[in-house]
Amino acid sequence: MLFRYNDINQKSSSRKSHGIVYFPPLFWWSILILTLAGIATLSWTFSTYVFDHPNKKVPYKILTKLNKISAIERFSPQDPPKAKTSFATSRSLMENEFSNFTGIYLTYLNDIFLRDYIENYKRTDGVYYLKGTFTITGSRPLTESDLFTRGTVLSASCDDFPKASVTLVLPSNSKDQAPPTPQGTQFSLQNNDFSCLLHVRKPTEDSIHFTLLPITYNNFKISKTRSIRLNPPPTLNIDGSWPPIIEEKNH
């Protein structure tokens, strides 16, 4: 026993003399266990983040590749997602719902709007539907650089509440581009359109802009002689710009 103890001391002294620090096996086992626990915690945290944030670029791409995202649903007018405040006007939404939202709070709210849309409103406590009459101020086709890559997007002013304006996204599966809609054309959003709020921004302290999309995807009537056939997008270009911007031309 004395020999073994002396032998260990001699080996330890030899390691020290060569600049080698000896650690007992228990130390390395502790390091291994802590490392594996850290990896498991990180994996669980990342997995939770991915499933909770399908509206973010990396999670969306991962979930799409793993086929963990359902196709965008065409809701029936008889069974749409429930509304928070029934069909609201631009004025009521601005004054009663979003008057105190600014900065990071508005960013967070918009993230929730897009997340709920991607998840087909499976865990939302209600959505906002907008109604009113509007006058078109600009239009353009959706492109490969947008979040929604096919269809048409319209910008419009609110006829009965000048502080509000809207962008209306009209997705389509058609590869053919719809002709531009003339400025000054009037249209209305009614109860059976189910135009759901997907984004809110405040250009100034006294104005508000809503981005909307009709989630029942009925043919959308722009005028007495023209309507646009709508379809749910088969997938989203998560790297694309959102919300869509229209450069309005002054005549």
What's the rounded Cα separation, in Å, for the pair 233 and 54?
16
Domain identity same for 145 and 39: no
Domain identity same for 98 and 43: no
Domain identity same for 89 and 15: no
Containing structural domain, residue 12:
2-52
Strands (E) located in the chain: 83-88, 127-130, 132-141, 151-158, 164-171, 186-189, 195-201, 208-214, 220-221, 227-228
Domain identity same for 195 and 123: yes
Task: Pick the range with the lowest mean pLDDT from 11-15, 63-67, 76-80, 191-195.
Answer: 11-15
Element (H or E) spanning 33, and its range? Answer: helix 25-52
Domain identity same for 47 and 129: no
Count structural domains, the chain.
2
Residue that the structure tokens 């709070």 belong to: 105
How far from the centroid of its chain's Cα atoms is residue 119's Cα?
10
- Per the domain annotation, does 75 fall within a domain? no
- Per the domain annotation, does 60 fall within a domain? no
pLDDT digits (tens, 9 = 90+) for 83-98: 988 889 999 999 999 9
pLDDT digits (tens, 9 = 90+) for 169-202: 999 987 767 777 889 999 999 888 899 999 999 9
Domain identity same for 27 and 93: no
Domain identity same for 110 and 200: yes
- pLDDT value of residue 247: 77
Domain identity same for 109 and 183: yes
What's the rounded Cα separation, in Å, for the pair 91 and 134?
13
pLDDT digits (tens, 9 = 90+) for 51-68: 788 999 999 999 999 998
Domain identity same for 148 and 222: yes
Domain identity same for 121 and 210: yes
